Chain A
Amino acid sequence: MDLTWSDKESAFRDECRTWLEANVPDPALPSGDTREGFAAHLEWEHRLHEARWAVVSWPEAYGGRDASLWEWLIFEEEYYRAGAPQRVTQNGIFLLAPSIFEFGTPAQQDHYLPRMSAAEDLWCQGWSEPNAGSDLAAVSSRAVRDDDAGGWRLTGQKTWTTRGAFCTHVFGLFRTDGEAERHRGLTYFLVPLDADGVTVRGFGRLDGDEGFAEVFCDDVFVPDNPADSLDPAEAAATMHRGGILGEVHQGWGVAMATTTSERGLTLRSPGRFQATASRLLDLARSCDESGRLGEALADRVVDAWVDAEAYALYTLGDVTGIVEGRSPGAKSSFNKIFWSELDVRLHEAALDLLGPDAELDGPWMKGYEFALSGPIYAGTN
């Protein structure tokens, strides 16, 4: 076991920390799940991109720094430690991009990835439907072949689409072979939300923010991927109207690559929970100083803090395994259940510390409402 960071990694941490200390907005931005807050977050995303912090683990050509997985972990730790804004681009960066890297054509990678890291294209996820939630293979939205026009016509309804009302594009699964059973016959489509036939209706989440949307597709045309021989400008114009990721009818495999990263490490770095645990500890100490911390509640703070540390260590083991080429497999489900329930416990302990003030509008109640979504999204626990 070696728990030391290399000189290069330490230098990377120093650079992150210095930049974040100088740039993190103070006071904090309004919630990115409201229209006004989203605009403020978008400005923040542009600043991150200009300083090349938007996608540190990506190749430099796409706006990244070629950072190692360890460096990515360091960046995340510093990001949450600094109390930096939520990433409104995260569903594209963490959920779609891994699939583009794995399944996209070189032309798709060159087109979509730089626009994503620059927060020009803002992606939301179109998995769930009214009758397909945890049972994702039950999707019934369909895409019908239009040979004359050279593409597909999409019809159906997606829901629980996070920040759908503010994004520019959606990625999702549509049924291209109506005869095939369940997870066969699905295709992974990339669709601009300003295409003819797309209607987006935002609606309030539990916390009241308009963070959810329904996306309705009514005969929406998505062109075939451009041929390699096509003029680059024309190819870009075609891809701007959407496309297919991976092969037709093979969308399930493409989507599964995404959901594994959604459940596992990439979306929930340990730095987030350690930062919350650290704030919880500060709150507990201030209650203690004013004589308002009893033993039972102190123990719950201890338990939650220990679990945040356990999660961080478990993740170090995960990353060691990934770096050395071992697949996390079912461990990504372990990871997801643990962090999501931990996040709820951290916030519950904080609200109990606040006592009668817990109900007041504030970061802990807001955070609690958000934490409650963790055990539900990315496949219910």
Chain B
Amino acid sequence: MRFELTDDQVDFRDAVRGLLADRCGPEAVRAAWDGDGRVRPAWDALAEMGVLGALVPEAAGGLGRDDEDVIPLLVECGRVALPDPVGPSAYAAATALGSLLEVPGAAEVAAAWSERVAAGDVVLPVVDPSAPVAGAGTAAAILWCVPSAAGPQVLLADADAVELESLDSVDGARRPARVSVLGGEVVAEGDAAAGIAAATADRLALGAAAELVGLSERMLELTVGYVGERKQFGVPVGSFQAVKHQLADAALAVAFAGPLVSMAAHSLATGDADASRHVSMAKLRASTAARHAAGAALQCHGAIGYTVEYDLHLFMKRAWALSYEHGDPDAHRSRLRASLGLTGSSTN
């Protein structure tokens, strides 16, 4: 029994933390608002370090790692509010492509796309066609995990076979679009497709949960730093119990969300039968904790937090968006109700 990262996982995470600290400071996120929603120096460095191919099998040019190795890296991406789609492309899509390597007839195209993902091309999964997809404008391909009238299917559609309806997000770095596919290659059908779609939905949700944990920690660090310096009535505002208690409660919520995220990663990596339940627990608590942290951070900052000149909003808006993406708290509670055998159907 050991509920902790291995030394190797810690080293990998620390290397990524260092890389992102250098290449994805708040000014880089601001530049992504003004540009195409990407921080290329960070993205390219992640490709070079092997992070974007971490889940790609070694035979296809990747590192052959698993969920447990990569989830801590996504926490780091959240910590710096990296807008680039590490979770959707290098985690969820890369794992799905890895599964497709085993599907008869799909192996060749899956191997080719796996290599491209590892090299830095973006493949974005779509499991819910009604939901906006962040960063869709820079995707090289869409992995369309949406059933057709004939049943479950997975399509791989090049960017030129995709139609995008661009939208504006509260988070200017996300650049979402509603996506539809005009063609593409069917790479899986039937049970194989249904399995890949479900696993991909879980990994999209867990990736967002991991980023939310990092965002939450960052918002609290920023706030603790600020209330330690900001003086009113002749003392730091952080010396007031009203401020301390808000931040302690938020820190508590975040601290107890982290282990659920780690557990879900372990369950997905080991193929645990309860993995989807664990993912919902993780996404539910990561979302509620992030909203809690964002609220406390804004309130404890006071007016300076309510500006776009100060950095807090970069993290807060990302947290809002991710808390709705891939299942908001109500959606995951609903999944958990079903998983625990509760209908909650009484209207009395």
Q: Which of A285, A288, A306, A334 contacts B255 (CB 8 A)?
A: A334
A298 interfacial contact with B, CB 8 Å: yes
With a cutoff of 8 Å between Cβ atoms, the chain B residues found around residue A40 in the complex are none
B104 to chain A, nearest CB (A): 33
B346 touching A293 by the CB < 8 A rule? yes
B4 — nearest CB in chain A belongs to which residue?
Answer: A320
Considering the complex, which residues of chain B in the window 324-346 have a beta carbon less than 8 Å from any beta carbon of chain A? 330, 333, 336-337, 340-346
A101 within 8 A of B: no
Within 8 A of B (CB), among A1-54: 1-6, 9
**Does A307 count as interface, using CB distance less than 8 angstroms?**
yes
Which residues from chain A contact B68 at a C-beta distance below 8 Å? Answer: 1
A314 to B346, Cβ gap below 8 A?
no
B298-342 Cβ-contact flags toward A at 8 Å (1 or 0): 000000000000000000000000000000001001001100111
A2 touches B344 (CB 8 A): no
Residue in B closest to A69 when the chains form the complex, CB atoms: B1
- Is A138 in the interface zone, CB < 8 Å from B? no
Give B212 Cβ to nearest chain A Cβ, in Å.
15
Q: Say how far A138's CB is from chain B's closest CB, in angstroms.
A: 19
- Are A3 and B1 touching (Cβ within 8 A)? yes
Residues of A within 8 A of B342 (CB): 281, 284-285, 288, 293, 298, 301-302
Interface window among B45-53, B54-62, B259-267: B259-267
A311 to B253 CA separation, bound complex (whole angstroms): 11
Interchain CB contact under 8 A, B252 and A294? no
- Contact assessment for A320 and B3 in the assembled complex, using a CB-CB cutoff below 8 Å: yes
A6 to B1, CA, bound (A): 8
A316 near B259 with CB under 8 A, answer yes
Taking residues whose C-beta sits less than 8 angstroms from the other chain, chain A's interface range is 35 or more
- Given A306-B281, A334-B252, the answer on whether A297 and B344 have CB atoms closer than 8 Å is yes
B285 located at the interface, meaning its Cβ lies under 8 Å from any Cβ of chain A in the complex: yes
Q: Scan residues 245-264 of chain B and give those whose CB is less than 8 A from a CB of chain A.
A: 248, 251-252, 255-257, 259-260, 262-263
Judging by beta carbons under 8 Å apart, are A306 and B336 in contact?
yes
Q: How far is the CA of A299 from the CA of B340 in the complex (A)?
A: 11
Total contacting residues, chain B, CB less than 8 A: 34
How many inter-chain residue pairs (CB < 8 Å) link A and B?
113
- Complex: A22 Cα to B259 Cα, angstroms: 35
Is the CB of A100 closer than 8 A to any CB of chain B? no
* B118 CB–A CB distance under 8 Å: no
Q: Least Cβ distance of A253 to chain B in Å? A: 25
Q: Does B213 have its Cβ within 8 Å of any Cβ on chain A?
A: no
A1 near B346: Cβ-Cβ < 8 Å = no
Query: For B241, what are the chain A residues with a Cβ–Cβ distance below 8 Å?
Result: none
Contact A310-B281, Cβ < 8 Å, known A3-B1, A5-B1, A9-B1: yes
A296 → chain B closest CB, angstroms: 8
The 8 A-B pairs of least Cβ separation, nearest first, read A298-B344, A313-B259, A316-B3, A295-B344, A310-B256, A2-B2, A320-B4, A294-B346
Q: Which residue of B lies closest to A318 (CB)?
A: B3
CA–CA, A297 to B333, complex, Å? 11
A130 at the interface (CB under 8 A from B): no
Query: Does A115 have its Cβ within 8 Å of any Cβ on chain B?
Result: no
